């Protein structure tokens, strides 16, 4: 199983290579990690020479941010607003954020606002049809059922002993309650079609550069695909986008 650090390093490697592909001069590139958590990606991007910042909800930052880290800021909620001026960033990126965001349209509109003309929005996220199980609570097909996840389905898997790292030692009833709340307030799975629609409305464009993802990120599926001729990567990339991890790219008009 891939560890968090391995996943983070893979995402950073992907973004670093993508930045260099999309923008020839990277020495002064300003990057925002949207949904930055404790800021690990921000610190690693800064170590690579990027002018990197991060933002997240206050509850997340309060729990995880080192007090001396001034590069991580709170997202305003009333109204929803990212804490940066218009046209601030060359790139806004995220990893495993949009399967949680209940307000995706607001998020994308704010990202569009703070991007420089010609800037890019790049997001890695688990697909709507991710298999074999929902990657946060480990219950099979939760993302397929979402938003109407049957309670009996959650109870069945909790009774069978399925737990994530934060549920060890809890009864099956407690786990069922936890997961029911999480499905209501912590998950928001969209299909590729919905991502295309909202991207067209706000950015006027969208891409899913999965072949580049296959080339520059490790993982068992990627290693398997690399054994096949490159002309097949488009097909495998589409499969990966729907049933494992997807990458959404949007660009603000110049």
| Predicted confidence (pLDDT) per residue in 202-213, tens digit | 999 999 999 999
170 touches 213 (CB < 8 A) = no
Instruction: Specify the pLDDT at position 112.
Output: 98
Q: Which domain range does residue 93 map to?
A: 4-128+190-251
68 in any annotated domain: yes
- Residue 215 burial class via C-beta count within 10 angstroms: exposed 0-12, middle 13-18, buried 19 and up: middle
| pTM for the predicted model, two decimal places | 0.92
User: What b/e readout covers 163-183, taking b as 16+ CB neighbours within 10 angstroms?
Assistant: bbeebeeeebeebbbbbbebb
For residues 168 and 76, membership in a common domain is answered with no
Same structural domain for residues 42 and 124? yes
Backbone angles phi, psi at 213, to 5 degrees: -65, -45
* 90's tokens: 């060359």
d(CA 206, CA 199): 6
**Are residues 212 and 235 part of one domain?**
yes
- Position 24 scores a pLDDT of 66
Residue 178 pLDDT greater than 60, yes or no: yes
Q: Is pLDDT at 54 greater than 70 in this prediction?
A: yes
Both 210 and 164 in a single domain?
Answer: no
Residue 15 lies in a domain: yes
212 and 107: one domain?
Answer: yes
Please count the structural domains in the chain: 2
- Report the C-alpha gap between 130 and 119 in whole angstroms: 29
- Quote the percentage of the chain above a pLDDT of 90: 80
CA distance 114 to 110: 6
How confident is the model at residue 57, as a pLDDT? 85
In this structure, the chain runs to a length of: 254
How much is the pLDDT for 3?
59
- Element of type H or E holding 145: helix 142-145
């Amino acid at each position: 199983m891939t560890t968090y650090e391995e996943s983070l390093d893979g995402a950073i490697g992907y973004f670093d290579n993508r930045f260099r592909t999309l923008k020839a001069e990277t020495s002064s590139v300003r990057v925002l990690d949207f949904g930055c958590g404790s800021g690990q990606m921000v610190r690693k991007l800064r170590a690579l020479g990027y002018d990197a910042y991060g933002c997240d909800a206050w509850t997340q930052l309060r729990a995880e941010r080192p007090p001396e880290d001034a590069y991580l800021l709170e997202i305003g909620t009333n109204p929803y607003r990212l804490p940066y001026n218009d046209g601030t960033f060359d790139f806004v990126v995220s990893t495993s954020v949009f399967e949680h965001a209940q307000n995706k349209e607001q998020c994308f509109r704010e990202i569009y606002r703070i991007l420089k003309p010609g800037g890019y929005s790049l997001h890695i996220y688990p697909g709507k049809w991710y298999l074999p199980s929902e990657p946060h609570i480990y219950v099979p097909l939760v993302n397929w059922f979402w938003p109407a996840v049957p309670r009996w389905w959650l109870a069945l898997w909790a009774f069978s002993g399925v737990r994530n790292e934060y549920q060890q030692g809890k009864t099956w009833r407690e786990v069922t309650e936890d997961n029911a709340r999480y499905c209501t307030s912590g998950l928001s799975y969209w299909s590729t079609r919905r991502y295309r629609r909202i991207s067209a409305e706000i950015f006027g464009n969208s891409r899913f550069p999965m072949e580049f993802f296959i080339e520059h990120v490790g993982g068992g599926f990627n290693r398997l695909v690399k054994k096949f001729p490159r002309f097949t990567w488009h097909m495998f990339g589409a499969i990966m986008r729907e049933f494992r991890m997807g990458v959404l790219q949007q660009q603000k008009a110049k």
